[in-house]
Amino acid sequence: MADSTIYQASTTAPVNIAVVKYWGKRDPKLNLPTNSSLSVTLSQSDLRTHTTAACSSTFGSDDALLLNGAPQDVSGARTQACFRELRSLRAALEAADPSLPKLSTLTLKIVSE
């Protein structure tokens, strides 16, 4: 019988509103802007995002991303980079402690609201 456990972790983050937004990037790899920007970060008691990353052998074979309940295309390079980074971080933990469950190869589902 396959393991039907769903492993998940959640976090919250404050909302950041750009007042003056930068245009373009001088270094896309490092995510550095061409020029400065001005933004305001709201208190989490006023407005926040809540994101949960989950993995399970029962999720099928395709990773998924839902934003405010709507499925999103996960084929883009930046989205794929996020999925790779999550798996890489987990694989490093598994390599350091072989007793941990092997989650780095499971299908991921990320929900953010």
pLDDT of 19-77, one tens digit each?
777 778 888 888 888 888 888 888 998 899 999 999 999 999 999 999 999 999 999 99
Q: What is the model's pTM?
A: 0.77
Fold of 7-112: Ribosomal Protein S5; domain 2 (3.30.230)
Consecutive H or E run containing 106: none
Residue 2: the pLDDT is 63
Instruction: Count how many Cα atoms sit within 13 Å of the Cα of residue 85 in the half-sphere of its side chain.
Output: 7
